Amino acid sequence: MTIVRDKLFIGGRWVAPAGTGLIDVIDPSDASVYAQIPEGVAADAEAAVAAAHTAFDGWSRTAPAERANYIERIAAGVEARREELAEAIAHEVGMPLKLAGRFQVAGPVNSWKHYAKLAREFQWEEQVGHSVVVREPVGVVGAITPWNFPLNQVTLKVAPALAAGCTVVLKPSEVAPINAFILAEIIEAAGLPAGVFNLVSGYGPVVGEVLASDRRVDMVSFTGSTRAGRRVAELAAATVKKVALELGGKSASIVLDDADLATAVKGTVSSCLLNSGQTCSAHTRMLVPRAKLGEAAKLAADAASAFKVGPAFAEDSKLGPLVSEVQQARVIGYIHRAIEEGAEVVTGGPDAAPPGPGFFVAPTVLVVEDRKATVAQEEIFGPVLVILPHDGDEDAIALANDTIYGLAGGVWAGSDEHAFAVARRLRTGQVDVNGAPWNPRAPFGGYRQSGLGRENGVYGLEEYLEYKAIQMPQKK
């Protein structure tokens, strides 16, 4: 049965949208219509901004401990509905259900709890000479979130913004929005004051552009493509609002000559294929010593072939579909172009996926000699690993840094010290040494065209704060 959401959450109430349009949410496992949501229009976005603007004064002056109490109730609500959220995301994004619970929901539960704790512990002011330096909320925040890790990215914007004392208007991705509607119900049940949190669904060029350009919005936080991020920054510049951007990546996994090759390849393939490769920080380029190129390609092919492709709710699926037919066509187009430009397909390929109706692409490993080849430079956002040869540490560092991006990366070496020395020289926001695990308290964000600002931990909270220096009279 198709889920129908016909109202938006504005000013503490579920209200009918100004327009009559509906957007179909497609289940990528079978191409069926999973849900329908309102196609919000500019008037809806403006009403939400007005509600957030009105609510800001009162919310910003609440004690941090009081804000923490609300956030704790939201955390409990998310945890209570974690199975429902995992199922919704499996339907929307296509990640296999067991993985969706682990990667798509568990993190947000912990993040909501963390920001409640941080609101209580954060140092909101300090004495600097004869000045009191105060940290205050930036104001009304427009949050525009993506479809690939939808609840996680919503959480990493909304939770710290609320903890900081900001009010929020959220535009979730129209591709994967139902999890955000569930979160809005949780926030409503938590009793958050009217207008502090608002949800408007719709398309980026309509709703998103209002949030980026409205003078009453003090900050816009966007996660998505670099192309769309440029547009957000362009619109925001007219009112000189604060901008946070988490954009694309073409992250390199560097395998040095003294690394354990089998372990490095297996770890890189796992990183590349998480969420069917639809992860901005995925290690999608593997740089290996030239003398070990053939061995590395064989190991990568074996590892990738072990990922069984199938629907999100099939028990044995390890790799779900891509999120949409458009995304599927885009990724297959990149593979065809790679072949045209001379890449060697060592497993997978454009025609290797199981038949539809779902939007499947087989895990694909390409060996590419040309460092300027399209697939060596552009973000594919699919289950495609590009292997490139390098000629030693210096060459590997130069190759890793040779993109417009700088979001993530990895270094594999015979010792942590060797890997760390190379990691220091990478122009990227995060680097994993010898397969080190994700740290949700460390800052996440990128250099260059991978974005501006940081999410996660205290660094994510600070994005939503301004400094105020209050000079006090000096005692005689």
pTM for the whole structure:
0.96
- Rounded Cα distance between 42 and 452, Å, is 26
Q: What is the mean pLDDT of residues 91-106?
A: 97
pLDDT of residue 215: 98
pLDDT of residue 1: 84
- Rounded Cα distance between 10 and 48, Å, is 5
Residue 364 pLDDT greater than 90, yes or no: yes
* 195 backbone φψ class: left, alpha, beta (φ>0; ψ -120 to 50): left
Q: What is the mean pLDDT of residues 422-441?
A: 97
Of all residues in the chain, the percent with pLDDT exceeding 90 is 98
Residue 170 pLDDT greater than 90, yes or no: yes
Average model confidence (pLDDT) across the chain: 97
CA distances from 21 to 15, 38, 46, 157, 295 (A): 15, 6, 17, 27, 54
pLDDT tens digit string along 141-151?
Answer: 999 999 999 99
Q: Which one of the listed residues 87, 246, 379, 463 is annotated catalytic?
A: 246
Q: What is the mean pLDDT of residues 212-236?
A: 97
Q: pLDDT class for 354, splitting at 50, 70, 90?
A: confident
- Rounded Cα distance between 323 and 176, Å, is 9
pLDDT of residue 337: 98
Q: What are phi and psi of 129, to 5 degrees?
A: 60, -125
pLDDT tens digit string along 32-79?
Answer: 999 999 999 999 999 999 999 999 999 999 999 999 999 999 999 999
Report the candidate in 12, 38, 29 with the shortest Cα–Cα distance to residue 172: 38
pLDDT tens digit string along 292-340?
Answer: 999 999 999 999 999 999 999 999 999 999 999 999 999 999 999 999 9
**Domain(s) of CATH 3.40.605.10: residues in the chain:** 3-247+450-469
pLDDT tens digit string along 150-162?
Answer: 999 999 999 999 9
pLDDT of residue 73: 98
Q: Which one of the listed residues 209, 272, 280, 463 is annotated catalytic?
A: 280
Q: Which residues of 330-357 are buried (b: 16+ CB within 10 A; e: fewer)?
A: ebbebbeebeebebebbbbbbebbeeee
Name the architecture of domain 251-439.
3-Layer(aba) Sandwich (3.40)
Q: What is the mean pLDDT of residues 205-214?
A: 98
| Catalytic (active site) residue 280 | yes
- Rounded Cα distance between 423 and 432, Å, is 8
Q: pLDDT class for 361, splitting at 50, 70, 90?
A: very high
β-pair type (197-199, 167-171): parallel
Q: What are phi and psi of 278, to 5 degrees?
A: -90, 60
Peptide bond into 28 cis (omega under 30): no
- Rounded Cα distance between 307 and 302, Å, is 9
pLDDT of residue 16: 98
**Domain(s) of CATH 3.40.309.10: residues in the chain:** 251-439
Distance from the Cα of residue 230 to its chain's centroid: 17
Instruction: Give the start-end residues of each E strand in 233-338.
Output: 242-246, 251-255, 283-289
Helix (H) or strand (E) holding 168: strand 167-171
At 192 the three-state DSSP class reads coil
Q: For 3-247+450-469, which CATH superfamily applies? A: Aldehyde Dehydrogenase; Chain A, domain 1 (3.40.605.10)
pLDDT of residue 475: 82
pLDDT tens digit string along 7-32?
Answer: 999 999 999 999 999 999 999 999 99
Residue 187 pLDDT greater than 90, yes or no: yes
| Catalytic (active site) residue 246 | yes
Residue 476 pLDDT greater than 80, yes or no: no
Helix (H) or strand (E) holding 4: strand 3-4
